[in-house]
Protein backbone atom coordinates (compact mmCIF):
# COMPACT_ATOMS: atom_id res chain seq x y z
CA UNK A 1 0.00 0.00 0.00
CA UNK A 2 1.39 3.38 -1.00
CA UNK A 3 1.54 6.26 1.44
CA UNK A 4 0.52 9.83 0.72
CA UNK A 5 4.20 10.75 0.43
CA UNK A 6 4.61 8.24 -2.41
CA UNK A 7 1.68 9.84 -4.24
CA UNK A 8 3.15 13.31 -3.73
CA UNK A 9 6.53 12.20 -5.10
CA UNK A 10 4.82 10.64 -8.13
CA UNK A 11 2.90 13.88 -8.81
CA UNK A 12 6.12 15.94 -8.46
CA UNK A 13 7.56 14.00 -11.37
CA UNK A 14 4.72 14.96 -13.73
CA UNK A 15 4.78 18.01 -16.04
CA UNK A 16 3.63 21.41 -14.74
CA UNK A 17 0.27 21.46 -16.60
CA UNK A 18 -0.63 18.04 -15.14
CA UNK A 19 0.30 19.14 -11.60
CA UNK A 20 -1.79 22.27 -12.04
CA UNK A 21 -4.80 20.23 -13.19
CA UNK A 22 -4.41 17.86 -10.22
CA UNK A 23 -4.19 20.79 -7.77
CA UNK A 24 -7.32 22.45 -9.18
CA UNK A 25 -9.20 19.14 -9.16
CA UNK A 26 -8.37 18.54 -5.50
CA UNK A 27 -9.34 22.13 -4.59
CA UNK A 28 -12.64 21.86 -6.49
CA UNK A 29 -13.37 18.51 -4.86
CA UNK A 30 -12.71 19.93 -1.38
CA UNK A 31 -14.92 22.97 -2.06
CA UNK A 32 -17.63 20.70 -3.45
CA UNK A 33 -17.49 18.51 -0.36
CA UNK A 34 -17.82 21.55 1.93
CA UNK A 35 -20.74 22.85 -0.15
CA UNK A 36 -22.44 19.46 -0.05
CA UNK A 37 -22.11 19.23 3.75
CA UNK A 38 -23.44 22.80 4.10
CA UNK A 39 -26.41 22.12 1.82
CA UNK A 40 -27.28 18.85 3.58
CA UNK A 41 -27.08 20.53 6.99
CA UNK A 42 -29.19 23.49 5.85
CA UNK A 43 -31.85 21.25 4.36
CA UNK A 44 -31.83 18.98 7.41
CA UNK A 45 -32.34 21.83 9.88
CA UNK A 46 -35.06 23.51 7.81
CA UNK A 47 -33.15 26.70 7.14
CA UNK A 48 -34.76 26.99 3.69
CA UNK A 49 -38.31 26.19 4.82
CA UNK A 50 -41.06 28.77 4.24
CA UNK A 51 -42.83 29.10 7.56
CA UNK A 52 -45.67 31.52 6.83
CA UNK A 53 -48.07 32.42 4.08
CA UNK A 54 -46.90 36.04 3.99
CA UNK A 55 -43.94 38.13 5.01
CA UNK A 56 -45.81 39.54 8.00
CA UNK A 57 -46.52 36.01 9.26
CA UNK A 58 -42.88 35.04 8.78
CA UNK A 59 -41.57 38.00 10.81
CA UNK A 60 -44.10 37.74 13.60
CA UNK A 61 -47.04 39.84 12.43
CA UNK A 62 -45.23 43.13 12.02
CA UNK A 63 -43.76 43.42 15.49
CA UNK A 64 -40.44 45.21 15.89
CA UNK A 65 -37.47 43.68 17.67
CA UNK A 66 -34.44 45.74 18.65
CA UNK A 67 -31.14 44.40 19.93
CA UNK A 68 -27.95 45.89 21.26
CA UNK A 69 -27.08 48.28 24.01
CA UNK A 70 -28.88 51.64 24.02
CA UNK A 71 -26.70 54.55 22.90
CA UNK A 72 -28.53 57.62 24.15
CA UNK A 73 -30.93 59.31 21.76
CA UNK A 74 -29.46 57.76 18.61
CA UNK A 75 -31.94 54.89 18.62
CA UNK A 76 -34.87 56.95 19.82
CA UNK A 77 -36.17 57.93 16.38
CA UNK A 78 -36.13 54.36 15.14
CA UNK A 79 -37.95 53.10 18.22
CA UNK A 80 -40.59 55.82 17.93
CA UNK A 81 -41.15 55.00 14.27
CA UNK A 82 -41.47 51.30 15.04
CA UNK A 83 -44.00 51.89 17.80
CA UNK A 84 -46.06 54.34 15.77
CA UNK A 85 -47.64 51.48 13.84
CA UNK A 86 -49.40 51.48 10.48
CA UNK A 87 -52.09 54.00 11.46
CA UNK A 88 -50.05 57.09 10.49
CA UNK A 89 -48.81 57.78 6.97
CA UNK A 90 -45.08 57.42 6.36
CA UNK A 91 -43.11 60.66 6.37
CA UNK A 92 -39.56 61.96 6.63
CA UNK A 93 -38.66 64.92 8.78
CA UNK A 94 -35.35 66.68 8.17
CA UNK A 95 -33.85 68.40 11.18
CA UNK A 96 -30.98 70.84 10.73
CA UNK A 97 -28.28 70.10 13.26
CA UNK A 98 -25.00 71.89 13.75
CA UNK A 99 -22.39 70.58 16.09
CA UNK A 100 -18.79 71.52 16.62
CA UNK A 101 -17.72 67.92 16.06
CA UNK A 102 -19.03 67.85 12.50
CA UNK A 103 -17.37 71.17 11.63
CA UNK A 104 -13.99 70.16 12.98
CA UNK A 105 -11.59 68.78 10.38
CA UNK A 106 -10.48 65.23 10.90
CA UNK A 107 -6.91 64.87 12.03
CA UNK A 108 -4.63 62.85 9.78
CA UNK A 109 -3.35 59.65 11.28
CA UNK A 110 -0.21 57.91 10.08
CA UNK A 111 -0.14 54.17 10.53
CA UNK A 112 3.36 52.72 10.29
CA UNK A 113 3.67 49.32 8.64
Q: Are 83 and 64 in contact (CB under 8 A)?
A: yes
Name the residue ranges covered by the structural domains of the chain: 4-44
Tell me the pLDDT tens digit for each residue of 48-93: 776 655 555 555 555 555 566 555 555 566 666 666 555 666 677 7
Residue 42 near residue 48 (C-beta atoms within 8 A): yes
Q: Cα 99–101–104 angle (5° rounding)?
A: 115
Cα–Cα distance, 2 to 85 (Å, whole number): 70
pLDDT 10s digits, 3-26: 889 988 999 999 999 999 999 999
How far apart CA 86 and CA 27 sit, in angstroms, is: 52
Amino acid sequence: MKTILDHIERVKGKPHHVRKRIAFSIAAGGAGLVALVWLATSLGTGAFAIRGASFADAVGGGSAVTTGAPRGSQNLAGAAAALEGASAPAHIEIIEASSSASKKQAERTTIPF
